[in-house]
Amino acid sequence: MHQVFSDIWKAYPENMLANRTWHWWWWIHFFENPDRPEFPRQLMVLWVTRNCKELRVNDSYHWQPKIPIVINENHAAFDSIVASWYYDGNKMHDSLILDHGKTETWWEDHVGRISMESDKGTYSFAGSPGDFQLNMRNENVGIELSNQPWKDPLTELLPTSKKFIGNIGYSMLKYRALLSSGKIRVDESETPLKGRCYFQKVQMAITPCWYWAIVQWDNGAYLQYFLPHLGIPMLRRSISHDSLMDWGEMMFSKTLRFYDPEERKEYLMKHVRITKRYENDLPIFRVNAFSNEGELTIEIATYARCCWKLSQPLIEPLWHGIFYNEYPARVTDFEFKTGIRTIKHGDFGKSYCNCEHTWGSV
């Protein structure tokens, strides 16, 4: 479904499941933090729509989409939510932006654009392959960013997808690492920004629980894992990390990809195990993975948290929802072994990292 650049801007209503299908345009940005270099600034920006009658965010923000997805040649129109959080190096601004309104996408050859306008602000990004301009503006927030090519092959547009049953699955396009620079204004304070970013456009017709993370190293090394699962955690109904239902995960897909720029080779590992512990009410994830070609261990310590509770009606008056946790994080341990070499923590230089953990169901 998602294969080429023009597919970033498209929606596919013919493949949607009633009340279940998401379209996400998701950016995570990593920026230098001169005052505390070990804790980079991070900025997430999301455009999202779902073919449902009503969605509630964090119990207090209600969204009732008024515009069904309409496609006309190289143009699409629909209702969407724009959401954003910002870790400024010391404090998490959660939420930085939470707004909704009429949204339009446009594409032609090798250019495209998405824009959402509301009574409160305008939010858009546009560009050509690997080169985007992002502009967000309302009364309290202003963001201007230029996202441009970095290192091959991370700058290349990568399609990935998986079907579980029928149309139940996901289809995705992503840029694994681009350069990013610009500025952000929060209230009256403006900050210059410089670093990197990651982008993914996702159409997803299932919302399981999952673990997910990306790591970008300065030398062009890259790691990503995705561990969707079912089980007892789908019954969780609290934002708290501490839960008697934090067990019984049944992984139905395990994937870890690691790109080594020194070998110019990507390793795919499907034997993956994740564990976690908590310090100061923030998780530390430890992942072990192996394949016939290598063995990898990584530990990721989170240093901030944003949690979105996304819920919709189940059977009135009951609602059900998913707790979508996003964590700025840093790598605290790493080792990768093949038959001929061993890479240790620090060998690749500085890294940027973000990870996710969700529970509940929607």
The 10s digit of each residue's pLDDT in 266-297 is 999 999 999 999 999 999 999 999 999 999 99
For residue 162, pLDDT over 90 is answered with no
- Per the CB < 8 A criterion, the answer to whether 161 and 202 are in contact is no
The 10s digit of each residue's pLDDT in 199-217 is 999 998 878 899 999 999 9
For residue 18, pLDDT over 70 is answered with no
- Hey, what amino acid is at 46? L
- Hey, what amino acid is at 249? E
Cα distance between residue 133 and residue 182, in whole Å: 10
Joined together, the tokens standing for residue 147 give: 């996202």
Summarize the confidence of residues 161-179 as an average pLDDT. Answer: 86
* Backbone CA torsion sign across 237, 83, 304, 324: positive
Q: Supply the pLDDT for residue 61.
A: 94
Domains of the chain, earliest start first = 1-206 (2.40.370), 207-362 (2.40.370)
* Backbone φ and ψ of 9, nearest 5°: -95, -5
Q: Is the peptide bond before 317 cis (omega within 30 degrees of 0)?
A: yes
DSSP string, 151-204: STTTTS-EEEEEEEETTEEEEEEEEEEEEEEEEEEETTEEEEEEEEEEEEEEEE
Three-state secondary structure call for residue 90: coil
Q: Supply the pLDDT for residue 260.
A: 97
Q: Supply the pLDDT for residue 14.
A: 62
Lowest mean pLDDT among 14-23, 87-96, 215-224: 14-23
Helix, strand, coil % in the chain, rounded to nearest 5: 5, 65, 30
* Backbone φ and ψ of 60, nearest 5°: -110, -20
Summarize the confidence of residues 215-234 as an average pLDDT. Answer: 97
Tally the residues of the chain. 362
0.95 cut: is pTM over it? yes
> Between β-strands 121-128 and 131-138, what pairing exists: parallel, antiparallel or unpaired?
antiparallel
Model confidence band, residue 110 (pLDDT cutoffs 50, 70, 90): very high
